[in-house]
Structure 1
Amino acid sequence: MSNNENINRELFERMPIRRAFLTLAVPTVLSQVIVIVYSLADSFFVGRLGDPQQVAALTISFPIFNMLTALANIFGIGAASVISRSLGAGNSERARKASACAFWSAAISAGLMILVLILFMKEVLTLLGATADTYAFTRSYLIWVVLFGGLPTELSLLLGHLLRAEGRTKAASIGMTLGGLLNIALDPLFIFYFHWGVGGAGIATMAANTASMVFFLGVFFRIRRHTVLSLSPKDFTVRQGILAGIVSVGLPTGLNTCLVNLDNALMSGLTAAYSDQVVAAYGITQKITTATIHISQGMAQGILPLIGYNYSQGRLTRVRQTNRFALRTLLIFTIFFFAAIEASAASLSRIFIDEPATAALTGVFMRCWMFCAFGMCLFQMYNAIFQGVGLWKQALLLTICRLGILFPAASLGLNRFLGLQGLMFSQPLSDTLTLFLCMAVYHKVKINQLCGGQAPSDP
C-alpha cells in the first residue's frame, strides 16, 4: 500500500470528524469561492459597460451553460459515490471502471449538447427569452462558452469530482482555482481592452476552463501509477451495473441543475414581461445570492466521499457524526451569509450595474430573494447525505418536489396574484417548504437505515 493510500485510510477511518471535515471540505469550499468570484466576474465586468441588454444576455445564457454543470454532476457526483463506496468495500477494480465510465460518458454527453445547440440555437434562445435586442449578445457569448468551451467546461468539473472521490481535494481545488483566477484576469482584457463586450467574457470563460482541464489531465498523468482512478477507454464499460450506479446516484444532482435551468428559463420569461431591467436585476440577484449554493455544495461534495466510504464499511456512528457536524456547520454559515447580504444589498447592486433604475431594483430583488438561503443551502447537504449512502430515490424525490413542483407553482401563482413583488418571494417560499420536507425524510431514513440499517454489500 502506498503512502497516499495510508494517508487516505487514516483520513476516512480514524481522523476526528472535525479535522476530517476541514481536510475534505475546506479545499473544496475554497475552490467553490473561486467559482463564485469568477461567475460573478462576467456580470461585474459586463455590468461596467452600463448596458442592461448585455447583462440580460448573461441571464438568458445561464441555463444553457448550467446544463454543462448538470451533465458533469450526473457523472461526477455519481461516480464519486460509487468510487468512495467501492474503496470502502475494498473493490478497487470497480472504482477504476467507474472513473473511466464517468469520464467518457461526460465527454460524449458534452458533444451531443454542442451538436443540439449548433442545430437549434435560434429556437433555444428564443424559448429562453431572447429578444431582438438581446439575441445577438446572447449568441456571441454562447458560441465561445458552449460551442468552443463546452467540452473543457464539463471535463474539468468531472475530473475534479473524480479526484475528490479518492481524497485528493488539494489537487481538485488547485485546478478549479486556476481556472477561476484566469477567468478573472482575462475578463477585463477581452471586454474593455479589445472592446469585445459580452463576447469577450465568453472567450475568457472558455480559455479559463480549457486551462483547468489541461491541468487536471496533467495531474492524472502524474499519478497514474499511484491511483485506482483511470481515464483509459480500455476501462470504460456500461456493464456490471456501473453506469446505472453512477447515473442513479448522480441523477438527483444533475436533475437539480436541469430543473434550475428550466426554472431560470421560467423566471426569465416572467421577468421579461416587465422589462429588460427586471431581467438584468434578476440575473445579478441570482448570481450573488446563489453564492450560498456554491459554498454549501463545496461542503457537501467535500464530505460525500467520507460518508460513502464509512457507510460501506458499516461505520454508521461515524456517518451520523459527520452528518450532524456538517448540517450544524452549514446552518451557522447560512445565518452569517444571510445577514451580510441583507445589510449590503443596495451597495452590492451598485457594484454590478451603474444604471440607477436597474441597481435600485436589484437591491430590492436581492433582499427578498435571500430568504431562500436557509432552505436552499441545507437542501444541498441533505441530498449529499442521501447520495453518499446510495439512497438516490430520496434525493430524486426531494429534487423533483423542490424544483419541479414547488418553485414553478410558487412563481406562477405569486406572480399572477401579487405581481413582481410576489415573484421576488417565490424561491424563498418554495425552498422553505422543501426544507421541512427534507427534515421529515431524513428523520425517517435516519431511524430506519442510518441508525439501525446495514451498509449495502454491493457499492
Structure 2
Amino acid sequence: MDFLCGNIKTLYFKFLAAAFGGALITSIYSLVDMAVVGQYQGSEGTAALVVVAPIWNIIYSLGLLMGIGGSVLLSTEKGKQISKCKHINEYFTAALYGTLFLAVAAWLIMIFFDRSLLMFFGAEDHLLTLARTYIQPIKFVLPCFMFTQMLAAFLRNDSHPGLATAAILAGGLFNIFGDIIFVFGFDMGIYGAGLATAIGSFISMLLMLSHFFTQQNTLAIIKTENMINRLKEICITGFSTFFIDIAMGILTILFNRQIMKYLNTDALSIYGVLVNVSTFAQCCAYSAGQAAQPIISVNYGARAKHRIIKTLKYALITVLFFSAFWTLTALLLPNQIVRLFMAPSFEILSAAPIIIRSYGLSFILLPFNIFSTYYFQALLKPRAALIVSVARGLIVSGFFIMTLPLLDADLIWLAMPITELIVALYAVFIMKRCTDHLFMEKAV
C-alpha cells in the first residue's frame, strides 16, 4: 500500500473497514460475555462482570501503549524515507520487549493478587466469587490479550490490516459460539464465558503471528542499542491511547463506588450495560483513529500537508456518523438494550430509560474526543493528546462523578455528557491550531 501516493479515500476506507471490524469484534468479547452471563445468572452475573471490566481496560491499554506508540513512530520514520530499515525496526523490537515485560508483570499480579484486585474494584461477597470464577481460565492466557493489541497496531502499519482484522474476527467468533456452548450447552455458567474468551484470544494471537511468515512482512527483531530511549519515545507517544483505556477502568471504579454509595445494585447492573454500550461507541472511535493514523503518520514524516488534511476530512465524517448512531440508539432503545444483556426485573426496566438516555448524551462527542487523541499522536503532539485523554478520563470526569451526587444522586448520569462537552471545546481548538500550523517549528 502506497501511503504517500495512493488515493486517500481508497486507503482510508480500506483501513477503516479493517479497523472497524477489529474494534467491533474486540468489544464483542465483553459484550457477549455479559449478555450470556446476564441471561444465565441474572443481574448478579452482570454486576460481577462490571467489577472485572477494569482489568480488561488495564490489559488492553498496556498493549495499546506499546502498539500505538511504536507503530506511530515506525510509520513516521518510513515517511521520511531517509531512515534505514534497521533504525525503523528498533521501534518494533522495543515495543515487543516492552509488551513482554508488561505482560509478565500483569500475569504475576493476576495469579497472586486477583482477590485483592477484584475487591479494590468493588467486588464483595457473592460478586467476588462470581468474578474470580470468570477470570480463572483467563489467567492462563492473560499475555495473549496484550499481544493481540500490540501486534494489531503494527500489522496495520505494516500494510496488513486485513490479517489483523481476520485474526480478531476468528477469536471473536469463537468467543460468541463458545459462550453459548460452554455456558448453556455444558452448563458451565460464568466459568464457561471466561473459558471461551481465553481460547478466543489465543486463537487471535496465533493468527497474527502468521504475518511474520509472509512476504509482506517488513518487521524484524533486531539488536537495539538505544532500547531505553526507544521505549521512552514509545511510551510518550502512546501514553494518551493507553490512558483512554486505563481511564475506562478508573471511571468504572469511581462509578461502581458512587452508585453503591448513593443508589443500589439495580443501578449498578444498568451501569454495567452502559459500560458495554460505551465500549462499543469507543471502539468505533478507535476504528476511525486507527484507520487515519498510519496514513497521517507516514505523510507527516513526508511533510505532505494536503494528504493529512484530506485524511482528516474523511475521519471526521466517520466520527459524525458514529456519534449520531450511538446517541440515537441510547435515546430511542434504552430498555431494548437492557434486555440484550440480561433478563431484567420490573425495577430495572423502570429505572433504565432515564439512566441510559442521560448517560447516552455523552455519545454525541465521545467519538470525536477519542479520535482527536489519535490525530494528535499521528502528528507527534503527545502533550495535546495527553491533555484530552487525562481530562476526559480522570480530571474533569472524576470531579463531576464525585461532586454531582452530592446535589442529587441521579445527577451522576450527567457526569460524562458534561465532561465530553468541556473536553471537546479544547480538542476542537487545538486540532484547528495543529492543522493550520503543520510543519511550523512551534509545537502544541
TM-score (normalizing by structure 1): 0.91
5 Å-filtered alignment, 1:395-406, equals 395-406=385-396
5 Å-filtered alignment, 1:109-120, equals 109-120=102-113
Does 2:404 match 1:411?
A: no
> Partner residue of 1:37?
28
- Stretch of structure 1 that moved more, 129-138 or 267-276: 267-276
Does 2:43 match 1:52?
A: yes
Deviations 1:181-228 (CA, angstroms, capped at 9, x unpaired): 1100100111112222112111111000001011111222x22x5432
**Cα 1:93/1:374, change in 2 over 3 Å:** farther
Match for 2:424 among 402, 411, 435? 435
Does 2:376 match 1:386?
A: yes
How many angstroms does 1:180 deviate by?
Answer: 0.7
TM-score (normalizing by structure 2): 0.94
- Stretch of structure 1 that moved more, 117-126 or 80-89: 117-126
**Cα 1:150/1:360, change in 2 over 3 Å:** farther
Deviations 1:32-80 (CA, angstroms, capped at 9, x unpaired): 2222333310111011124221111100000012211010010000011
Amino acid at match of 1:209: S
Deviations 1:287-322 (CA, angstroms, capped at 9, x unpaired): 023311101101101210100000000101111221
> Partner residue of 2:283?
294
> Partner residue of 2:259?
271
> Partner residue of 2:204?
212
Does 2:68 match 1:80?
A: no
> Partner residue of 2:274?
285
Amino acid at match of 1:389: L
Q: How far apart, CA to CA, are the structure 2 residues paired with 1:173 and 1:29?
A: 8
Runs of 4+ displaced beyond 6 Å: none
Amino acid at match of 1:245: E
Runs of 5+ unmatched residues, structure 1: 1-7
**Cα 1:367/1:235, change in 2 over 3 Å:** farther
Q: How far apart, CA to CA, are the structure 2 residues paired with 1:62 and 1:237?
A: 38
Does 2:137 match 1:144?
A: yes
> Partner residue of 1:453?
440
Deviations 1:68-124 (CA, angstroms, capped at 9, x unpaired): 101001000001101111111222222212112212211210110121233322222
5 Å-filtered alignment, 1:212-231, equals 212-220=204-212, 222-223=213-214, 226-230=216-220
In angstroms, what is the RMSD of aligned CA positions?
A: 1.8
Does 2:381 match 1:376?
A: no
**Cα 1:282/1:389, change in 2 over 3 Å:** same
5 Å-filtered alignment, 1:110-259, equals 110-145=103-138, 147-220=139-212, 222-223=213-214, 226-230=216-220, 232=221, 234-235=222-223, 238-239=226-227, 241-259=229-247
Amino acid at match of 1:376: L
Runs of 5+ unmatched residues, structure 2: none
Amino acid at match of 2:348: T
Does 2:332 match 1:339?
A: no
Amino acid at match of 1:285: L
Q: What is the aligned-residue identity percentage?
A: 20
Does the aligned pair in 1 maintain the 2:338–2:344 contact within 8 Å?
no
Amino acid at match of 2:67: G
- Stretch of structure 1 that moved more, 357-366 or 300-309: 357-366
Q: How far apart, CA to CA, are the structure 1 residues paired with 2:104 and 2:353?
A: 39
Does the aligned pair in 1 maintain the 2:94–2:227 contact within 8 Å?
no
Does the aligned pair in 2 maintain the 1:156–1:209 contact within 8 Å?
yes
